[in-house]
Amino acid sequence: MVNLNLLDEQKVNYRTALQITKLHYQQSELMLALHYAETPTPSTIGYFTSTYAKLVQIEFDLQKLWKFTEDSKFHRLVGYIPHCLCSAMDNDERVGYTDTRIYNERCPIHCPETAFVEQESK
């Protein structure tokens, strides 16, 4: 559901409100697709990283439609995307302050180059 009070506060017109609603729906569809996808493998990781890129673009598009500054430091995707192994709590603390996020090197979404490397035994 779109925040109706924010629509009024930001003076968002009806047409833009519909665009916002459509983007939220697309975002939900992508998150569901990732949720129901099989566990990422080296051969399927491209699907996951490209879907993540689409989610990031939707975040920027929503910021623009809501008349906010387009700024990745306000994005809350890290830790909440299906199959993401990064800490949501650690990254939530950074939202609004920095666009730097804490990534788990085993995360197939954010660190595909190291996610599938076998850990050396100690």
For 96-105, write each residue's pLDDT tens digit.
Answer: 888 888 889 9
Termini Cα distance of the chain: 50
Per-residue CA distances from 15 to 7, 23, 55, 59, 71 (Å):
11, 13, 22, 18, 23
> How does pLDDT run across 100-122, given as a tens digit for each residue?
888 899 999 999 889 888 754 44
User: 10 Å Cβ neighbour count for 2?
Assistant: 13
User: 10 Å Cβ neighbour count for 40?
Assistant: 21
What is the pLDDT at residue 43? 92
Contact indicator for 20, 2 with CB cutoff of 8 Å? yes
What is the pLDDT at residue 108? 92
pTM for this structure?
A: 0.86
Mean pLDDT of 41-54: 93
What is the pLDDT at residue 121? 46
